[in-house]
Homo-oligomer: A and B are copies of this chain.
């Protein structure tokens, strides 16, 4: 994952949502441009409590992240081709780099991406587009496991139940 056009101080909550969705839906790592220690710290805290190996890394150069990509680059944008049309080419493509734009996306990104992909050609949310893409590619995150968690949720029909990891399910 690469988040481009983040505005430190202005976008912390939206970028944190992008990062949390990436983690919860099975991405391995998020590169953040420009870097923002607040988001890195926030996700480190989530990893300590909730487990898994997801990492956020600030990067001063999104071009470098693209050059290091080992598979197709998917840029999520409301102007791109419909996800349903591109999905067959993404399935089985191996490692993907998914780019989620923030407020300002450099025009060059459209040319640098392998696929510019839209989730509905309407204005909505990069958080939503990312979640739907990952759910289509990797399945619903219902059963995803996060090793090393200190705590986990026991799903319930009513109310909240959080147990220490390793505790017996009741």
Chain A interface residues (CB < 8 Å from chain B):
13-14, 17, 20-21, 23-25, 46, 50, 77-85, 107, 110-111, 115-116, 118-125, 127-132, 135-136, 140-144, 146, 152-162
Distance A74 CA – B87 CA, assembled complex (angstroms): 29
Main secondary structure on A side of the interface with B: mixed
Q: Are A159 and B79 in contact (CB under 8 A)?
A: yes
Q: Which of B84, B116, B140 contacts A132 (CB 8 A)?
A: B140
Give chain B nearest CB distance to A115 CB in angstroms: 8
* Given A79-B160, A83-B140, A84-B140, 20 additional A-B pairs, CB 8 A: A17-B125, A24-B120, A24-B122, A24-B128, A46-B123, A50-B122, A82-B142, A115-B157, A116-B156, A116-B157, A116-B158, A119-B131, A119-B140, A119-B141, A120-B141, A121-B142, A121-B155, A125-B131, A127-B127, A129-B131
